[in-house]
Amino acid sequence: MPSSLVKMDPPLEKIILWCLKKAPEERPQSTAELGENLLAYFKSRT
């Protein structure tokens, strides 16, 4: 887990781990899909 090495928010860690899934079909299928999730994460922090 990245959070064992660097302090980070659990929702951000979840997005990072999603991108690193071994099976391609389990990863974001487009940059738009990833961007939507990142945007929602950053909006939730404000």
List, for residues 1-46, the tens digit of each pLDDT value: 778 888 999 999 999 999 999 999 999 999 999 999 999 999 999 7
Give pLDDT, residue 46: 79
Decide if 2 contacts 8 (C-beta within 8 A): yes
Q: Where are the domains of the chain?
A: 2-44
Residue 19's pLDDT is 97
* Greatest pairwise CA separation for the chain in angstroms: 33
C-alpha 41/C-alpha 8 separation (Å) is 12
